Structure 1
């Protein structure tokens, strides 16, 4: 009688499955959302773009600093651990696609006043969920996509770190160059002060001229003190970025800014979308949300699970693997009343998907804006440098003429002093403008940059 009842149940389940399959909704598609983007960027170069973009500057010190930072920066290392967590989560979720098998072995002794009884037992049990609607597969794919998004996040962090290293290094080099220029200007001001003091002793200049020049010398010395402090701060920042203690860091001593490399190939916005790690991360999160929605829809339908076990229980260890008892069971669980919980989860998942789509579109537009902003800024800085060079030439000529006329008594010293200060200010501004031009190029490289492979992955692949 029990066996007849079980047969009837199984037949009922087998008849019910096609009916349920016919009513199952398909999972949502994963076509790429459409984003309105321009056909081309405003400017483009000819130099091929390398993912290790910092090498384009031809600065071996910068190359070494970026290499040290990618290997030693602690924030990037923590980001890599988050990547490993995401990969492990994906592997754990993928385990649901396979049956699980458990084994147990036990021994028990019961004693009374007259007798003692030993009992030995062993069993193997297996369970498996038949993925009728693709729910387990969808959840597995979602975690795999989130792991891929985590790797893109790591790559975006590596690009950001390399850009921060380059900017900090160029600021440090510029400040060192400013320090060298300030020392030259101080020596120039001291030479002029000596000349004016000689003329004052001879009665050819007044005391206000001496005081004004002494004030300029004092300001020059103050600038040296300020620059030395700024250099120390930048060195500390660079040390921490490369994973070194500030007081024990070993940094290059260069004080020469590199020349601006040729403009790289910008390509078209469509290529940028496929290359940038942050855009790829946003798109993979869209795909993961799509699979989460598919899983939420599938969760509204019945689940079929299979369970099998074999066991044995005996009084002697020799008979432990004899007389096995085997069981096989199948369970189909269909949700009937859940208060709208599963329907609400579908609604939530659909809203998350739409949120990810909008975030992806915004990320694409921001990426295009960053490229255009960097191109515009670089072009403006180049024009500014050209005008500064002209101003420096004119200021130098003006200073030399006014100084000659002052020595001849034709003009007052205040005109010479103003011309000298103007020339020195322009010289300092030119250095700052050169550093800002390099920063604009760094911003362009960062906006165009592709993926940077994790250092730990590279080391593991080399070992294998």
Structure 2
């Protein structure tokens, strides 16, 4: 016949099994994952791991590498990883024996006789983690550390992408300034042309006013383009952890996007993207905390020992050893509330993981689809630039011959400027969208 103690331990072991951490599978808890990407231009071979070198731009590579070394936000993210790792160590410290040592010296005078004592005291305690309550808590902290590590990797990838996109933004902004400066030169030529015709009585004063107004509008557009340069320059300097003095200079033409990389399979995204990995680790951490909360209902077994000795009289020493079992009976509903709280947090983490995953799929599909539409837009605007340049030359000739009004001539110049500006913008958008695709796929740098 079993003793009451054996029966109690048997029941506790049975209840302890109920607090086991569930084994999560990414495929079973993720939103429905298709076998292939919906975009027609997706290449489903093995995903590429590097993208920075594909641009073959030494200045771009240099600035990205500087940002990865110097950026303060990235350093803070790295520090958060270390914080999470140390918290995991703290969480697991309770599984090990705790030993303390102290000394005490007293000097006394009683009945004309002095009595001095010097004691050495020690305390020992150890909770036997029979049911794995502390282990589950430690495991949760370790999973939080894994999530922080994934966050750091994601922050590193995001920083590289933001730096590269800001680099292309700066190239475009400088080119927009050049386009605006050339537009002002062209408009000044038109002003001289109209003034000459006015002096010869071939046109009215309204035409002069209109071309002068158009010239001032072009100057305003130039000022706007120059302001955009300084804004992007200072933003890029901060990414590089430099003082935002607007002193960073670099001019070059916008390159063509590198060859399309493989997007792999949608299912690969679940184990590749840092934010998806971090969300999954945080889900597992909530599961571990739920298991720890359930095991808090079980009895705790502890070993304690304490003792001491008089250093002045080694014969005066004492110690004791005890083993205790503490079973929570009534806690005002705190333990059950903690279980329900962790259950709710686990559900929240599950839904958050599903949301992050679905958003990851959206970003990839969106970038793949945008690749096609931006390319078509870029080709159309390229043709528009050529057409507007030809129409502008024809408009100047027609105005000299008195065949068209001044507004038609000015419209031809505005159309040229607009087409050139939009063409530069869409070329930059193509490059930035390609980087968005690399970022969405979660590959290496």
- Same fold per superposition (TM over 0.5): yes
- TM-score under structure 1 normalisation? 0.87
The 5 A counterparts of 1:140-289 are 140-247=138-245, 250-289=247-286
- Displacement of 1:226 after TM fit? 1.9
| Partner SS, residue 102 of structure 2 | strand
Q: Residue in 2 aligned with 1:119?
A: 117
| Partner SS, residue 325 of structure 1 | strand
* CA deviation string 1:402-459 (max 9, x = no partner): 333333444344333322221222111111111222222222121112477xxxxxxx
- Displacement of 1:323 after TM fit? 6.1
Q: Which has the higher mean CA deviation after the structures are superposed, 198-207 or 78-87?
A: 198-207
Distance of 1:426 and 1:229 partners within structure 2: 21
379 and 246 in structure 1: CA distance in 2 versus 1, 3 angstrom threshold = same
Is the 8 Å Cα contact of residues 45 and 263 (structure 2) preserved in structure 1?
A: no
| Partner SS, residue 255 of structure 2 | coil
Is the 8 Å Cα contact of residues 299 and 326 (structure 2) preserved in structure 1?
A: yes
Q: Which has the higher mean CA deviation after the structures are superposed, 16-25 or 333-342?
A: 16-25
Q: Residue in 2 aligned with 1:37?
A: 33
Aligned partner of 1:387 among 376, 380, 383? 380
96 and 147 in structure 1: CA distance in 2 versus 1, 3 angstrom threshold = same
Q: Which has the higher mean CA deviation after the structures are superposed, 209-218 or 391-400?
A: 209-218
Distance of 1:171 and 1:22 partners within structure 2: 63
Aligned partner of 2:400 among 384, 407, 410? 407
- Displacement of 1:40 after TM fit? 1.4
62 and 47 in structure 1: CA distance in 2 versus 1, 3 angstrom threshold = farther
Is the 8 Å Cα contact of residues 58 and 258 (structure 1) preserved in structure 2?
A: no
| Partner SS, residue 179 of structure 2 | helix
Distance of 1:177 and 1:310 partners within structure 2: 81
The 5 A counterparts of 1:312-327 are 312-313=309-310, 316=312, 319-320=313-314, 324-327=317-320
Is the 8 Å Cα contact of residues 138 and 291 (structure 1) preserved in structure 2?
A: yes
Q: Residue in 2 aligned with 1:18?
A: 10
The 5 A counterparts of 1:416-455 are 416-450=409-443
Stretches of structure 1 that go unaligned for 5 or more consecutive residues are: 1-10, 453-464
Q: Which has the higher mean CA deviation after the structures are superposed, 271-280 or 42-51?
A: 42-51
Aligned partner of 2:97 among 94, 99, 102? 99
- Displacement of 1:47 after TM fit? 9.5
- Displacement of 1:329 after TM fit? 0.9
- TM-score under structure 2 normalisation? 0.90
Q: Which has the higher mean CA deviation after the structures are superposed, 67-76 or 384-393?
A: 67-76
Q: Which has the higher mean CA deviation after the structures are superposed, 387-396 or 176-185?
A: 387-396
| Partner SS, residue 56 of structure 1 | helix
- Displacement of 1:46 after TM fit? 8.2
Q: Which has the higher mean CA deviation after the structures are superposed, 105-114 or 50-59?
A: 50-59
Stretches of structure 2 that go unaligned for 5 or more consecutive residues are: none
- Displacement of 1:171 after TM fit? 1.9
| Partner SS, residue 216 of structure 1 | helix
Is the 8 Å Cα contact of residues 36 and 44 (structure 2) preserved in structure 1?
A: no
| Partner SS, residue 30 of structure 1 | coil
Q: Residue in 2 aligned with 1:4?
A: none
| Partner SS, residue 246 of structure 1 | coil
| Partner SS, residue 181 of structure 1 | helix
324 and 388 in structure 1: CA distance in 2 versus 1, 3 angstrom threshold = same
1:329 aligns with 2:322: yes
Distance of 2:194 and 2:329 partners within structure 1: 101
- Displacement of 1:13 after TM fit? 4.1
| Partner SS, residue 312 of structure 1 | strand
Q: Which has the higher mean CA deviation after the structures are superposed, 37-46 or 347-356?
A: 37-46
Q: Which has the higher mean CA deviation after the structures are superposed, 399-408 or 111-120?
A: 399-408
Q: Which has the higher mean CA deviation after the structures are superposed, 327-336 or 203-212?
A: 203-212
- Displacement of 1:81 after TM fit? 2.7
344 and 410 in structure 1: CA distance in 2 versus 1, 3 angstrom threshold = closer
Distance of 1:302 and 1:399 partners within structure 2: 89
12 and 310 in structure 1: CA distance in 2 versus 1, 3 angstrom threshold = farther
300 and 59 in structure 1: CA distance in 2 versus 1, 3 angstrom threshold = same
451 and 299 in structure 1: CA distance in 2 versus 1, 3 angstrom threshold = farther
Distance of 1:34 and 1:46 partners within structure 2: 23
Aligned residues: CA RMSD: 2.4
